[in-house]
Amino acid sequence: MRILVVDDDKNLCRLMEVYLKKEGYKVVLANEGQGAIDKYYEENPDLIILDIMLPKMDGWDICKAIRKKADIPILMLTAKGEKADKLKGLELGADDYVTKPFDPDELVARVKAILRRSATQSIRGDILTFPNLKINNKKHQVILKGKVLDLAPKEYDLLSFLAKNEKQVFSREQLLNQVWGFDFIGDIRTVDTHIKRLRKKIDEKLDDYKYFHTVWGVGYKFETSKENE
- Over residues 41-50, the pLDDT tens digits come to 888 788 999 9
Beta partners for residue 134, in sequence order: 129, 143
Same domain, 156 and 95: no
Long-range CB pairs of 22-25 (<8 Å, 24+ gap) are 23/108, 23/112, 25/1, 25/111
Same domain, 118 and 141: no
CA-nearest of 74, 82, 90, 85 to 36 is 74
Same domain, 153 and 79: no
Distances (CA, A) of 136 to 126, 128, 129, 203: 6, 6, 9, 18
Amino acid at 83: K
Same domain, 117 and 64: yes
Q: Check residues 161 and 88 and name the one with the higher pLDDT.
A: 161
Under 8 Å CB-to-CB from 136, ≥6 apart: which residues?
Answer: 126, 127, 142, 143
CATH of the domain at 142: 1.10.10.10
Which of 70, 94, 122 is the last residue in one of the domains? 122
Which of 122, 157, 186 is the last residue in one of the domains? 122
pLDDT tens digits, 8-47: 999 999 999 999 999 999 999 999 988 898 888 888 788 9
Sheet holding 74-78, edge to edge: 26-30, 2-6, 47-51, 74-78, 96-99
Q: What pLDDT does residue 125 have?
A: 56
Under 8 Å CB-to-CB from 183, ≥6 apart: which residues?
Answer: none
Same domain, 135 and 104: no
| Dihedral angle computed from the Cα positions of residues 40, 51, 122 and 226, in that order, rounded to the nearest 10 degrees | -50
Q: What pLDDT does residue 199 have?
A: 96
CATH of the domain at 19: 3.40.50.2300
Domain with 166, as residue range(s), is 127-226
* Domains in the chain, number: 2
Same domain, 91 and 59: yes
Same domain, 18 and 107: yes
Which of 122, 142, 174 is the last residue in one of the domains? 122
Same domain, 147 and 115: no
Query: Is residue 51 scored above 80 in pLDDT?
Result: yes
Same domain, 155 and 219: yes
Q: Cβ(70)–Cβ(83) under 8 Å?
A: no
pLDDT tens digits, 72-107: 789 988 876 666 666 676 666 778 888 888 999 999
Same domain, 167 and 91: no
Same domain, 110 and 133: no
Amino acid at 62: I
Q: Cβ(114)–Cβ(122) under 8 Å?
A: no
